[in-house]
Amino acid sequence: MPRNVSDNGRIDVRIPPEAKAMIARAAALSNVGLTEFVTRSALRDAQAAIERAEHLALSERDSLRVLDLLENLPAPTDRLIRAAKAGQTLA
C-alpha cells in the first residue's frame, strides 16, 4: 500500500478542462455528483488492477504439473539440504 496516503479523504488531481467537462457531463447523465462518479470509476478500475496483480491463472497443463509436484515431491537438491542445515534461505 502506498505510504503517502493522507487520511483526510481528499485527492488533488489536475486534469485538462476538456477532460473535466467530459467527466462532469458523464456524471450528470448518470444522475450522480462529480465526486461520486469519479470515486465509482476509480474504485472499479482499482479493484480490476488489484485482481489482475494478485490473480494467477494457470493453463490446464500447468495446473496438472503443480498438482503432480504436490503429490510427488521431488528429492531435495544438495543446495536445499545445505541451506536447511545452515538455517538459511535460498536467496
Q: What is the pLDDT of residues 44-85, one digit of tens each?
A: 999 999 999 999 899 999 999 999 999 999 999 999 998 888
Mean pLDDT of 23-42: 97
For position 9, what pLDDT does the model report?
85
The cell numbers describing 12, all together, are 488533488
Residue partners of 79: CB distance under 8 A and separation at least 6: 90
Mean pLDDT of 21-28: 97
- Report d(CA 86, CA 51) in Å as an integer: 38
pLDDT(3) > 60 = no
Least Cα distance to 35 among 2, 11, 8, 5 occurs for: 11
For position 2, what pLDDT does the model report?
55
Is the CB of residue 83 less than 8 Å from the CB of residue 89?
yes
